[in-house]
Chains A and B, each alone.
Chain A
Amino acid sequence: MAGLTPSLAVDLGGVPLAVPVVAASGCLGTGRELGALVDVAKLGAVVTRSMTYGPSRGGRTPRVAESASGIVTAVGLQNPGVRAFLEEDLPRLGNVGVPVIASVAGATLEEYLSVTSALHVRPGIAAIEVHLSGPDDERGGQPFYARVERLGEIVGAVSRLSRVPVFAKLPALLPDLVDAAHACVRAGAHGLTLIDGIPAMTIDPARLRARVASGVGALSGPAIKPIAVAAVYSVARSLPHVPIMGVGGIATVEDAVEFLLAGAWAVQLGTALLVNPEAPVEVARGLLAYLRDKGVASPADLRGRVRIPGAARGTTP
């Protein structure tokens, strides 16, 4: 297809992105730190740190430990609170001219709603992503995602209140991820972010103690990529019209293409940003070259196009 000029633009059903590469939540500081190294305006969008209503100091340190091909982190939602975010971080991101996706967290249903309504005070939020892996104070500290009904309750309430599209961020290891995804969509979620970090622990045998202060943290990085691809694949097959942002261990253009082929509409980079701040820009550039090389006009044309060799012969296990 000589002369084809592919476009990287995608539309997450009302959330247009110039580039399908997004900075994942909690991996871009306050939005100003990378100024010297990377042009943040070149990203498709930026997901903010997860915000609670009031300021939160987060958990104790150490908060990070490396494991094979990944990192286990437990920051504990350190953030300045939604009001400080609106005053300080949002205007700065607004000046950069990159779409901002606000990550909304909470310890109770009421807190989720307070954060969501506070976000209405200012324009400049393109979408909301609901952080659902924190402890639920109204359910004895179990994660919000633990029960499908609770998941639907939180996501539904935020979606009804929000004036912008809402993405629910789900972890991979649910008893029935596809069922949970359906519950979020039924409750009013516009789209999904798949996947959140995987509960993980690493222990120092010499000191007989967990390497992160909270004991269990969240695993991210290349180690979780195949798990995330499978999650995107399963959900996208069942919900082909629901926008999915794929996230989990993406560091290169090949990684990003895997997610698109599995069914993602766009991808987020998290851990890779901490290691190579230019990774999102490199992935976007690489994706353009990939599309041109394959004669494909748009990332949307790759969506869900994975071939399953076994399925063709009817031998899917």
Chain B
Amino acid sequence: MKRIRAEILNIRKFGGYHQLTLVAPDIAERARPGQFISVAMPLDRAFVLRRHFSIHQASRRGGWAGTLEFAFDPTGPGTRWLTDAKPHQFLDVIGPLGKAFAYPRRLGTCLLVARGHGAASLLFLAQELRARGKRVDMILGAPSEEYVFKAIEAKRVSQTIDIVTEDGSMGERGSVLDVLPRVAEETQAEVVYAAGPHAMLKRVAELCADRRIPAQVAVEEPMACGLGLCFTCVVPIIRKDGSGYDNLRSCVDGPVFNAARVFWDRWAGEPPTSAPTPPEGFPAVRAWPG
């Protein structure tokens, strides 16, 4: 883990996402898929916490050697501030943080499942798996076409790709969970990697458990420091000997966990944004306002 002043090399927009490329050789050298970086926000603003981003790409060789990429969907004040960042500006960056995805030793067929920008770390993983001679298949899900993360790059690194959008604007209409059983069957998946919101990961874990496919998930749990200091980002993880569970910090013990060891029913997680549950006593409404 290093803390550096990283220069922004460029900033690009694609679909609903922004992508930043940083000059960060110390971090890029060590970064592995599933790990993340934290970026400090300006001191004069009302938002104080660092922002955390999965590492989308770390280039160690070639013309881009020493650069690091991350992508985000500007939904809050911090990410909106970052969309105004300019090349050659410097950011206070700490990384790489957290535990990375583990590569399978013997098994060779890997199915990668992502919703939204969960694909950022899985595309990095796909390249590393390919470099190790593994077969990669991908399922990319999103609310709509503009949030399908880099479909063309995904196609380049994977044997098969299935795209699913909730509004049907690209690929099949539905969620990644609708196609996962079929794709797992067709590709004879031996390992599953997933990144996305809690509800999706929980279902992926169940579908994989039913089929006895080992799965690793990269969780998203609100984090204050990202450094292991504050114990806010915990996830209930069942002990190896099954004697109970512990609340482990997703920043240092995760964000990647073995799906079979996550105590899904105990972990509250965030409900999906698109379908909030009305509180009891509220009249149910078909289309939620706003």
Taking Cβ atoms with an 8 Å cutoff, the residues of A that contact B are 26-30, 33-34, 36-37, 49, 57-58, 60-66, 68-71, 73, 75, 78, 206-209, 213, 221-222, 251, 271, 273-278
Contact = CB atoms under 8 A, between A and B. Distances in A.
12 contacts: A26-B230, A29-B227, A29-B229, A29-B230, A33-B228, A61-B232, A66-B76, A75-B231, A213-B268, A274-B229, A275-B49, A275-B225
Contacts of B290: 206
B271 interface: yes
Nearest to B92: A276
Contacts of B246: 57
Given A29-B227, A207-B271, A208-B278, A61 B221 contact: yes
B91 interface: no
A255 B278 CA distance: 43
Given A63-B232, A206-B276, A275 B40 contact: yes
Contact of B40 (A34, A63, A73, A276): A276
A66 B41 CA distance: 13
B209 to A, nearest CB: 22
A64 B279 contact: no
Contacts of A49: 231
B139 to A, nearest CB: 27
B50 interface: yes
A62 B222 contact: yes
A69 B94 contact: no
Contacts of A213: 268
B230 A73 contact: yes
Given A64-B222, A64-B232, A71 B227 contact: no
B48 A271 contact: yes
Nearest to A27: B229
Interface residues of B, number: 43
B224 interface: yes
Interface in B168-226: 221-225
B227 A208 contact: no
B279 A274 contact: no
Given A29-B228, A57-B247, A275-B225, A66 B233 contact: no
Nearest to B227: A33
B289 to A, nearest CB: 10
B273 interface: yes
Contact of B273 (A37, A206, A208): A206
A191 B56 CA distance: 50
Contact of A274 (B46, B49, B76, B221): B49
A62 B50 contact: no
B235 interface: yes
B1 interface: yes
A213 B270 CA distance: 10
B267 interface: yes
Contacts of A222: 48
B232 A73 contact: yes
Interface string B142-178: 0000000000000000000000000000000000000
A64 B271 contact: no
B86 to A, nearest CB: 23
Given A71-B49, A207-B273, 5 more contacts: A26-B230, A33-B252, A63-B231, A208-B279, A275-B50
B18 interface: no
B47 interface: yes
Nearest to B229: A29
Interface in B35-50: 40-41, 43, 46-50
A36 B1 contact: yes
Most buried by B among A33, A68, A251, A277: A33
B60 interface: no
Ranked nearest first, the 3 interchain pairs of A and B with the lowest CB-CB distance are A274-B225, A33-B228, A64-B232
Interface in B43-82: 43, 46-50, 76
Interface in B231-282: 231-236, 246-247, 252, 267-271, 273, 276, 278-279, 282
Contacts of A34: 227, 229
Contact of B94 (A37, A58, A66): A37
Contacts of A63: 222, 231-234
B5 interface: no
A65 B231 CA distance: 13
A71 B46 CA distance: 10
Contacts of B229: 27-29, 33-34, 273-274, 277
A242 B227 CA distance: 35
A64 B40 contact: no
B228 to A, nearest CB: 4
Contacts of B271: 207
